[in-house]
Chains A and B, each alone.
Chain A
């Protein structure tokens, strides 16, 4: 069965610090990879996605992620965080063997950015 691991459950940063959130998945076949964000009191929103092609993908609000197939990783990065980035971040994967119908989420990382 597919699984997704997010190693950092809570991250606290100061504004302007750089961010990297780890994500590893377990599935050897073709996958689509996503990062979703949930701001306080809001619904889950798509930050960025990787389907194929360039392994470095850019998303909204200055976020980017790099797919490293050999490491089964899809880490999220942002060079300089802002207070408004305070949110919970979820890595997610769906796979060809389920027809891309079942999205498996990591347990999430709560990011707190202090001003």
Chain B
């Protein structure tokens, strides 16, 4: 079974631009979560989607948004990028609510 796939692996953007990250969950998994990982803050929850609906959201500004498609694939968008948005963005999927998350390799975003 293929794991969680995130594209692209690396991105370099400049301040003010916007970026879209993509995540394909494990086949059959309908829940997709996004996390931001930075050296200072660790792993911070961004949001979670299930059947195209956002069920839970972390404490991030509205510049961070996401969506999920009918095939469970998910995208995350960050608008008006700031230097502080530089981070590793991780996507995770799971089959049932009460089951562990399976993580992808992440997209490393650098904002200059």
List the B residue with the shortest CB-CB distance to A42: B105
The docked-state distance in angstroms from the alpha carbon of A46 to that of B93 is 13
Q: List 15 A-B contacts (CB under 8 A).
A: A43-B90, A43-B104, A43-B105, A44-B92, A46-B101, A46-B102, A51-B98, A90-B42, A101-B48, A102-B48, A103-B33, A105-B35, A105-B43, A106-B42, A107-B42
Q: From known contacts A99-B56, A101-B31, A102-B58, infer whether A108 and B100 are also in contact, taking CB-CB under 8 Å.
A: no
Q: Specify which chain A residues have a CB less than 8 angstroms from the CB of B104 in the assembled complex.
A: 43
Indicate whether A25 reaches chain B with its CB closer than 8 angstroms: no
How extensive is the interface on chain B, given as a class?
20 to 34
The docked-state distance in angstroms from the alpha carbon of A102 to that of B58 is 8
How extensive is the interface on chain A, given as a class?
20 to 34
Contact mask for chain B residues 73-106; partner A; CB cutoff 8 A; 1 contact, 0 none: 0000000000000000010100001101111111
Which residues of A are in contact with B by a Cβ distance under 8 Å? 32, 34, 36, 42-46, 49, 51, 90, 92, 98-108
The docked-state distance in angstroms from the alpha carbon of A49 to that of B99 is 9
Q: Specify which chain B residues have a CB less than 8 angstroms from the CB of A34 in the assembled complex.
A: 100
**Closest chain A CB from B99 CB (angstroms):** 9
